[in-house]
C-alpha cells in the first residue's frame, strides 16, 4: 500500500469532518459520500482501499450513535438483531464479490447506487411515522429477507446503508421512524464491521487514514447535531439540497468511471 502524504491526511481529516457533519445534520447519508471523497479528494488510487477504509469509519460512527439512541430507548433490539443477523451474512458475501470486481466498474456501480439513494431520499423527505410494531413470527421472514438484501448491498459497496436499512425496517415491521433510525444503527454497525474485517484481512484498509477519518468525523458529527436543532424547521429543504449534492457527485463519479474504461 502506497504511503500517503501529509496533504492527503489533511484532506482526509476535512473529508471525515464533512461526513460527520452530514451524519449529524441529516441523520444519515454521510457514508455514501465517504468513498468518492477518499477517491477523488484524498486521492486513494485503489477504490477497494477507499471502500475498506470507509467501512471502518462507517462502523465507528454508527457505534457511537447507537449508544446515544440506545440510552433514549429508540432501539427495537429483537427486530434489530434479526435484521442484522441476516444482513451480516449478506454483507460478508457482498464484500467478497465487491473485492473481486474491477475498481472502475465498482465505482460506476457505486454512482448508480448514489442515484438510487438520492431518489429514495427525495421521495421520503416528508414521510410520516407509523405506529410501533414488534417483530413476530409473521414478519420475521420479511425482516430476514430485507436484512440479507441490504447487507449484501452494504458489503458490496462498503457503506453503512442507513438510507436502505431504515425504509427496510419500516417496510418489514411497520415500526415507527424513530425506532427504525435507532434500530438501523445496530445493522449499520454490524454491516460496517463485517465489511471492514473482510477488506482489512485482504490488506485493503488504510488504518492511519481511517483513524483520522473517524476522529474528525466525530467532531463534525457533534457540530452537525448542534446545527440540526437550529435548522429543524428547514429539514425538508436541507434534505432536498443534500439529495441534489448526491446527484452531482454521482454524475461526476459515473463520468470519471466511464472515461477510465
Span 30-49, mean pLDDT? 87
Mean pLDDT of the chain: 81
User: In sequence order, what are the residues at sequence separation of 6 or more whose Cβ sits closer than 8 angstroms to the Cβ of residue 218?
Assistant: 20, 61, 64
CA–CA distances in Å: residue 242 to residues 21, 30, 114:
12, 10, 12
How much is the average pLDDT of 235-243?
A: 67
pLDDT of residue 236: 65
Say what the pTM is.
0.75
Identify the pLDDT of residue 108: 85
Contact (Cβ atoms closer than 8 angstroms) between residue 29 and residue 44:
no
Per-residue pLDDT tens for 116-168?
Answer: 877 766 776 555 545 555 677 777 888 899 899 888 888 888 776 776 787 78
Reported as a pLDDT band with limits 50, 70 and 90, residue 25 is low
Instruction: In whole angstroms, give the CA distance from residue 11 to residue 43.
Output: 9
d(CA 211, CA 29): 20
Distant-in-sequence, close-in-space partners of 255: CB < 8 Å, separation ≥ 6: none
**Cell triple for 105:** 466498474
Amino acid at each position: 500500500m502506497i504511503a500517503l502524504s501529509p496533504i492527503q491526511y489533511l484532506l482526509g481529516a476535512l473529508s471525515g469532518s464533512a461526513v460527520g457533519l452530514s451524519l449529524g445534520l441529516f441523520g444519515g447519508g454521510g457514508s455514501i459520500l465517504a468513498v468518492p471523497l477518499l477517491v477523488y479528494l484524498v486521492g486513494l488510487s485503489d477504490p477497494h482501499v477507499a471502500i475498506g477504509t470507509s467501512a471502518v469509519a462507517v462502523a465507528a460512527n454508527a457505534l457511537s450513535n447507537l449508544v446515544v439512541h440506545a440510552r433514549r430507548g429508540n432501539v427495537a433490539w429483537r427486530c434489530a438483531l434479526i435484521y442484522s443477523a441476516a444482513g451480516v451474512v449478506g454483507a460478508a458475501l457482498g464484500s467478497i464479490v465487491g473485492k473481486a470486481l474491477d475498481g472502475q466498474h465498482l465505482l460506476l456501480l457505486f454512482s448508480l447506487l448514489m442515484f438510487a439513494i438520492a431518489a429514495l431520499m427525495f421521495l421520503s423527505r416528508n414521510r410520516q411515522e407509523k405506529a410501533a410494531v414488534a417483530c413476530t413470527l409473521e414478519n420475521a421472514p420479511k425482516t430476514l429477507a430485507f436484512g440479507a438484501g441490504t447487507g449484501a448491498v452494504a458489503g458490496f459497496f462498503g457503506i453503512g446503508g442507513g438510507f436502505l436499512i431504515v425504509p427496510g425496517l419500516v417496510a418489514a415491521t411497520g415500526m415507527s421512524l424513530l425506532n427504525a433510525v435507532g434500530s438501523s444503527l445496530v445493522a449499520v454497525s454490524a454491516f460496517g464491521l463485517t465489511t471492514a474485517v473482510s477488506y482489512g484481512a485482504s490488506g485493503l484498509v488504510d488504518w492511519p487514514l481511517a483513524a483520522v477519518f473517524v476522529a474528525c468525523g466525530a467532531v463534525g458529527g457533534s457540530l452537525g447535531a448542534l446545527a440540526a436543532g437550529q435548522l429543524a424547521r428547514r429539514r425538508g429543504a436541507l434534505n432536498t439540497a443534500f439529495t441534489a449534492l448526491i446527484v452531482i457527485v454521482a454524475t461526476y463519479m459515473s463520468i470519471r468511471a466511464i472515461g477510465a474504461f
